[in-house]
Amino acid sequence: MDPKAIVLLSGGADSLTCLAWAAREKGWPCLALSFDYGQAHGPELQAARRAAQVFGVPHLTARLDPEPFAASALTGAGQVPKGRNPARIGRGIPSTYVPARNLVFLSLASALAETRRAERIVIGVNALDYSGYPDCRPEFLRVFQEALRLGTRSGVEGNPIRIEAPLLSLKKSEIFLLGARLGVDYSLSVSCYDPDPDGRACGSCDACLLRARGFRQAGLPDPTRYRSGVTPPAEA
């Protein structure tokens, strides 16, 4: 059976919520798509494979030449920021920005969607990413949607692939509440930008702090596996 939706599955909490939303809330047959682009936080890809197995959906990993993405702390160029408060996290474009990542990922997902005759691509961008990452903003998604209408066979024939961003206007706590309603096991996910080889979180990078804060504000237990002796600060 051809999938109805291609779900971009990084292995992090947001993409896992999107998979649950597409598969359980919408009931779409899904294909999970991950990308290996030389990211230093490789345990995320292992988490994506585990999540796809739990959800019982087929999973593809596209392996890309890491050179175009080399100018990022997530691919080893510089240090991953640690210990920043929420106001600092939301200011400017951080060193963890990966050049044109979502532009590339959505383009390749669009090709796969046309090949597999999928109608939708589901991506887990959300409101917390607006200020930091230009390719997570709603205006970017609107323009990319227009590009699909004008630049693909399905688009010019009147059936453009739809970009679905169900988390776009949600805060992290709201994302976790949605996931809890859909039965998501967040212990399957790895969000940390600097995990150890076993996937245990550092507890102090931007992703760890926002994740811990989201669980706390949602009133949900944090299932994250942290390194021994590590606890995110209560004010995160």
Q: Which amino acid does the sequence have at 27? A: G
Which structural domain range is residue 17 located in? 5-185
pTM: 0.94
Torsion of the alpha carbons at 43, 49, 53 and 54, rounded to the nearest 10: 40
Domain-embedded: residue 52: yes
Q: Is residue 38 part of a domain?
A: yes
pLDDT at 89: 79
Q: What is the pLDDT of residues 163-184, one digit of tens each?
A: 999 999 999 999 999 999 999 9
3-state secondary structure the chain: CCCCEEEECCCCHHHHHHHHHHHHHCCCCEEEEEEECCCCCCHHHHHHHHHHHHHCCCEEEEECCCHHHCCCHHHCCCCCCECCCHHHHCCCCCCCCCCCHHHHHHHHHHHHHHHHCCCEEECCCCHHHCCCCHHHCHHHHHHHHHHHHHHCHHHHCCCCCEEECCCCCCCHHHHHHHHHHCCCCHHHCCCCCCCCCCCCECCCEHHHHHHHHHHHHHCCCCCCCECCCCCCCCCC
CA distances from 94 to 21, 36, 212 (A): 29, 21, 19
Q: Write the secondary structure of 186-201 as one string of H (helix), E (strand) and C (coil).
A: HHHCCCCCCCCCCCCE
163 and 148 in contact (C-beta within 8 Å)?
A: yes
209 domain residue, yes or no: no
Kindly report the CATH number assigned to the domain that includes residue 138.
3.40.50.620
pLDDT at 80: 93
Which amino acid is located at 46 in the chain? Q
> Is 151 a domain residue?
yes
Q: What percent of the chain has pLDDT over 70?
A: 96
Kindly state whether residue 171 falls inside one of the protein's structural domains: yes
- Domain membership of residue 213 (yes or no) is no
pLDDT on residue 212: 94
- Spell out, as residue ranges, where the chain has pLDDT lower than 70: 1, 127-131, 233-236
- The reply to whether 118 falls in a domain is yes
In a domain, 141, yes or no: yes
Contact call for residues 44 and 10 (beta carbons, < 8 A): yes
Q: 122 and 18 in contact (C-beta within 8 Å)? A: yes
pLDDT score recorded for residue 16? 98
State pLDDT tens for residues 134-148. Answer: 899 999 999 999 999
pLDDT at 147: 97
Number of domains in the chain: 1
The whole-angstrom separation of Cα 38 and Cα 58 is: 22
| Cα–Cα dist 35/45, whole Å | 8
Per-residue confidence (pLDDT) for residue 131, from 0 to 100: 58
Report how far residue 200's alpha carbon sits from residue 43's, in angstroms, rounded to the nearest whole number.
9
CA distance 217 to 211: 10
Q: Of 188, 185, 186, which is closest to residue 212 (Cα–Cα)? A: 186
Give yes or no for a contact between 171 and 127, defined as CB atoms under 8 angstroms apart: yes
